[in-house]
Structure 1
């Protein structure tokens, strides 16, 4: 027996009966008694808020320092091996990504290493997600780079008669100062939102909005990396139509491409693409993914140093990676008025990406993350990190999947990964000074594959929701051509307008009965459904409030064919007619009585 026959048999043999009296709202209210609401006075609430008890102190520590809760409960024998393997695997991936994303942020590569160390250590103490990998992220790095290039363009004139090399160093120093200022301000915004319990703002960044935004960001990242892959010298653009200007600039200079740089980049690109496909196909059999990016960095550095590609073929390389940690420095707060729009966008995007991945992995492993605490954690990681010359960080999607997939159990895995970065900063950084920029660009481009795959969302949203398709396309187009900051603002406005549209234009249905059942469905959708004589069942799939009350009233009249105004008008006319007839009858009766009285008297 197939499924169709089985369903028909069940429908014929099983029945569900519902029988109850018909209640009107007044009758129902008469039969029910509302509960008395007991609300504390303002004084009681303040007293409760400022009461200090050991339990409350403990809960505050647990909330603001989650490590005080999970570290004492750490199951050493069960967790340590997974955290160790995961930390090493993530650290090996974090090294090349930190160097590459610093290029996107328009700062020297060593600052990518700083951003892969300080914030990760702090998140281990402050974060509630056990599996995400905090550090440089392509989209956030690109947004930072856009601000830095806008305020400190490539053709800026540095006063003081400096030569080309010193001029580049001075320009980079100014860009680092801008990046630190943006990072500090975005961190302050995130921290304040977290303290004010505004973690719910992530719900307004819907999935279509986030995916459309990150897809547009992937296009921005791709175009900004082409110059390094081709080895051409072009100006870096930011702002409106920057993606168009960058693409045109590369195409205009393609005749000057560096064949050696392109060859190295394409070789690494092919290695990474094929290797990632191998990792994906045999992930069940491999104890851990092959660290392809690390091998690419080692191989690229070895080839560059062995053949002296910088001097012999004019290939751009990473350059000097100073050993040691820089002393703390105060970010330039005088730049806040120039970067506050970018800082708001970076704060929101960074949190949205982080909480989205954190919730996904938390649901998979059966625990909860606190959105407000994640805001606080990111805010402190960014604001305190900016004092140590880091740029804004977020959750990296690719590294998070590696950290979770290689057996990471707690935040300790991220801490171990950061210690590997510290080793490079303190001792082995000089080994990577010959690394070609083309290798880093290939690493970045390959890691964009997941974001480019989001174009497959379009057929899905076309089938399921035209409104969400509109949000995706609007976000993508606005972010692509207006820039990521103004594109995000436009996307949020469009998303909010769709919320208003949905509440003002819900679907209205008149329900009818499926014959011989107690099932009531839309009469316009099915031929077999019939209305019950004398009864109209009207359904709306949205709350009724002032903005849609008129639309609701009009739809009710149109769908049911019942207009209370017409009914009341007809009723009033009938009442007047009846009153007139009764009045005439009363006058006639009075005349008859009077005549009878006169006759009797005579």
Structure 2
């Protein structure tokens, strides 16, 4: 190392000073390092830094700094419409991949759109409308290259379930208007979250809760399709498993239609087999992608030729031809339904957002590119806002279509544009041909699409990793299956928050021991070879210390101390003289935390035990000095490490390396 480099290294360590250890002037550890005191920040700077890190951690304004006004305008457009940026490098080779992917997902989305619209109790054309306008908006504003936009099963079920609690689906005009109103507020909710950079709120829903919610929704969606799969005309409006199965068995004697069952089960088997083939060999992904459209076409021809509708087979009957009609005038902006539309929209918007962000992040990680969460929210919100004005209901990213899109070789969001163009041609030319499509086929398509949402392997992994996570997962699952979808979602969110509160209010603490032949101190439960230091108790606190847990931490430390003293007394060993709190995991401490440490210090004084702190972080040490607690215990009782504290309290122990 050069002399210049050595000097620089010394300058970087200038904030750490060293003082001779009391009673120690030779050997391997002649000095104890003092903990550096950081410069005090003013309140405005501290608040500004916290605000920036919370809402602007990606510093979206950085590219605009020191740029002329014209350049800022262009950068602003590129930020709002990423298509302007990536289209500069777009090539014919990329278009080939996007064209194939777009045509493939279009063949999948058309039958799914009709089926999902039925799931939401909406006219089938509204499902197709939702795969025309929203994908075009997203393609220009979204940052994901792989996500495929359109209606999805979970959101469709949620919309249908909540809407029918307010308006009977038989009152089609009012029902559809409320659906547009809910979509409008879903878009507003998503936009607000993106504009005000509140996307971190979605992270409060844990992965385990999402797994349980999706699995429960898949079961509920599949049960709802028994109405069409068995040809039952009178069916319960409730979604819980008990009500659905009671309705199915009550109709067993006279309500089932064998022709419908034969069509539905045979095509369901075909769809599941084709899906299995696509999963086993990625080269044949197109088999599962084309299977739904093939099923719709062949079953429609079968019904048309055999006139099965005259024998009780339920059919679509009519799909309105033409592109999306305007619907701005149909949204409820006043009256009794506004509040209902707002509530349904917020819930559906959050669920749709969670699903889209999860899907986008998954494929972004696979292809190793960055997904801007806040841009995604603005894009999704804008497309649903525009969608509500053009006869669409809530759209989001579809996992099944996104997976097909990825496997088909999509390169950019142009695949969504290709899909949208195919849907446009479908709306303009061939929708009347779907008149004889049996509803049993749509039920089969939905069941085959959602069966993958029941992720048993993920649930098993959650059980192995974290039992409380598994409780949250099962709580969400059973809440959806046995109560309602929205209450299941509420349970999922509640259990996610409960886990956070549990960890915040009851953080872990551990007694540390010295690893043989080292100066390393670790949890004695994790490292059985670690030995306690005679006369000294070392405790690590594994959490920030706030008002919510400060009293518990103080009491837990005192309980550790009491238990240790009783053990020593029973073994006739020397009493404890020093208590060292290892604070490296403590990222922050508030006023209540300082107060709790003051009470701990007084309790220890009565027991004639000296309190010492080891390795407090920058924020913590600054607050310890500001509160004068550092002066209370003495600055020489705050150490850089546990080893330094032991160097002062028990020099012989430190020498045994």
Counterparts of 1:184-195 in structure 2, within 5 Å, are: 184-195=184-195
For structure 1, which segment, 265-274 or 559-568, has the greater mean C-alpha deviation from structure 2 after superposition?
559-568
Aligned in 2, Cα 1:547/1:384: closer, same or farther, shift over 3 Å?
same
Corresponding residue for residue 568 of structure 1: 605
Residue 459 of structure 1 and its aligned partner are, at CA, apart by 2.8
Counterparts of 1:331-342 in structure 2, within 5 Å, are: 331-334=331-334, 335-342=337-344
Corresponding residue for residue 325 of structure 2: 327
Q: Is residue 2:60 matched to residue 1:53? A: no
Number of residue pairs matched?
528
Residue 492 of structure 1 and its aligned partner are, at CA, apart by 1.6
Counterparts of 1:516-535 in structure 2, within 5 Å, are: 516-535=517-536
Aligned in 2, Cα 1:225/1:105: closer, same or farther, shift over 3 Å?
same
Counterparts of 1:340-351 in structure 2, within 5 Å, are: 340-351=342-353
Q: Is residue 2:513 matched to residue 1:506? A: no
Residue 148 of structure 1 and its aligned partner are, at CA, apart by 2.7
Q: 1 CA distance for matches of 2:357 and 2:159? A: 20
For structure 1, which segment, 518-527 or 397-406, has the greater mean C-alpha deviation from structure 2 after superposition?
518-527
Q: 1 CA distance for matches of 2:93 and 2:505? A: 54
CA contact (8 A) 2:274 2:287 kept: no
CA contact (8 A) 2:510 2:539 kept: yes
Corresponding residue for residue 210 of structure 1: 210
SS in 2 for 1:402: helix
Counterparts of 1:203-242 in structure 2, within 5 Å, are: 203-238=203-238, 242=240
CA contact (8 A) 1:116 1:136 kept: yes
Q: Is residue 2:550 matched to residue 1:549? A: yes
Residue 461 of structure 1 and its aligned partner are, at CA, apart by 2.1
Please give the TM-score of this superposition, normalised by the length of structure 2. Answer: 0.76
Q: 1 CA distance for matches of 2:442 and 2:368? A: 36
Q: 1 CA distance for matches of 2:604 and 2:325? A: 82
Q: 1 CA distance for matches of 2:476 and 2:30? A: 51
CA contact (8 A) 2:149 2:398 kept: yes
CA RMSD of superposed structures (Å): 2.7
Residue 250 of structure 1 and its aligned partner are, at CA, apart by 1.9
SS in 1 for 2:282: coil
Corresponding residue for residue 36 of structure 2: 29
Q: 1 CA distance for matches of 2:489 and 2:360? A: 21
Counterparts of 1:103-142 in structure 2, within 5 Å, are: 103-142=118-157
Residue 98 of structure 2, aligned match among 83, 108, 133 = 83
Please give the TM-score of this superposition, normalised by the length of structure 1. Answer: 0.82
SS in 2 for 1:536: strand
Aligned in 2, Cα 1:341/1:52: closer, same or farther, shift over 3 Å?
farther
CA contact (8 A) 2:108 2:292 kept: yes
CA contact (8 A) 1:129 1:369 kept: yes
Corresponding residue for residue 538 of structure 2: 537
Corresponding residue for residue 474 of structure 2: 473
For structure 1, which segment, 406-415 or 382-391, has the greater mean C-alpha deviation from structure 2 after superposition?
382-391
Counterparts of 1:244-323 in structure 2, within 5 Å, are: 244-255=242-253, 256-284=255-283, 291-311=290-310, 313-323=311-321
SS in 2 for 1:521: strand
Q: 2 CA distance for matches of 1:86 and 1:288? A: 13
For structure 1, which segment, 258-267 or 504-513, has the greater mean C-alpha deviation from structure 2 after superposition?
504-513
Structure 2 stretches lacking a partner, 5+ long: 1-27, 53-60, 565-578, 580-599, 610-657
Aligned in 2, Cα 1:278/1:374: closer, same or farther, shift over 3 Å?
same
CA contact (8 A) 1:283 1:289 kept: no
Q: 2 CA distance for matches of 1:434 and 1:118? A: 26
Residue 309 of structure 1 and its aligned partner are, at CA, apart by 1.0
Corresponding residue for residue 89 of structure 2: 73
Residue 526 of structure 1 and its aligned partner are, at CA, apart by 4.3
Counterparts of 1:374-385 in structure 2, within 5 Å, are: 374-385=376-387
Residue 201 of structure 1 and its aligned partner are, at CA, apart by 1.6
SS in 2 for 1:333: coil
Q: 2 CA distance for matches of 1:519 and 1:570? A: 28
Corresponding residue for residue 635 of structure 2: none
Aligned in 2, Cα 1:439/1:35: closer, same or farther, shift over 3 Å?
same
Q: 2 CA distance for matches of 1:338 and 1:441? A: 28
Q: 2 CA distance for matches of 1:286 and 1:478? A: 34
Aligned in 2, Cα 1:569/1:425: closer, same or farther, shift over 3 Å?
same
Residue 38 of structure 1 and its aligned partner are, at CA, apart by 9.8
Q: 2 CA distance for matches of 1:418 and 1:21? A: 74
For structure 1, which segment, 339-348 or 510-519, has the greater mean C-alpha deviation from structure 2 after superposition?
510-519
Q: 2 CA distance for matches of 1:106 and 1:316? A: 15
SS in 2 for 1:346: helix
Residue 359 of structure 1 and its aligned partner are, at CA, apart by 0.7
CA contact (8 A) 1:99 1:113 kept: yes
Q: 1 CA distance for matches of 2:209 and 2:438? A: 35
Q: 1 CA distance for matches of 2:261 and 2:421? A: 33
Corresponding residue for residue 359 of structure 1: 361
SS in 2 for 1:395: strand
Q: 1 CA distance for matches of 2:128 and 2:247? A: 30
Residue 200 of structure 1 and its aligned partner are, at CA, apart by 1.5
- Structure showing greater relative contact order (alpha-carbon pairs closer than 8 Å, 6 or more residues apart): 1
SS in 1 for 2:478: helix
Aligned in 2, Cα 1:314/1:499: closer, same or farther, shift over 3 Å?
same
SS in 1 for 2:532: coil
Aligned in 2, Cα 1:41/1:444: closer, same or farther, shift over 3 Å?
closer
CA contact (8 A) 2:114 2:127 kept: yes
Aligned in 2, Cα 1:493/1:565: closer, same or farther, shift over 3 Å?
same
Residue 174 of structure 1 and its aligned partner are, at CA, apart by 2.6
Q: Is residue 2:421 matched to residue 1:414? A: no
CA deviation vs aligned residue, 1:322-341 (integer Å, no higher than 9, x gap): 21124312212232212332
Residue 293 of structure 1 and its aligned partner are, at CA, apart by 0.8
Q: 2 CA distance for matches of 1:21 and 1:332? A: 78
CA deviation vs aligned residue, 1:340-393 (integer Å, no higher than 9, x gap): 322211111100000011011111112111111111111111111111111111
Q: 2 CA distance for matches of 1:259 and 1:129? A: 45
CA contact (8 A) 2:211 2:459 kept: no
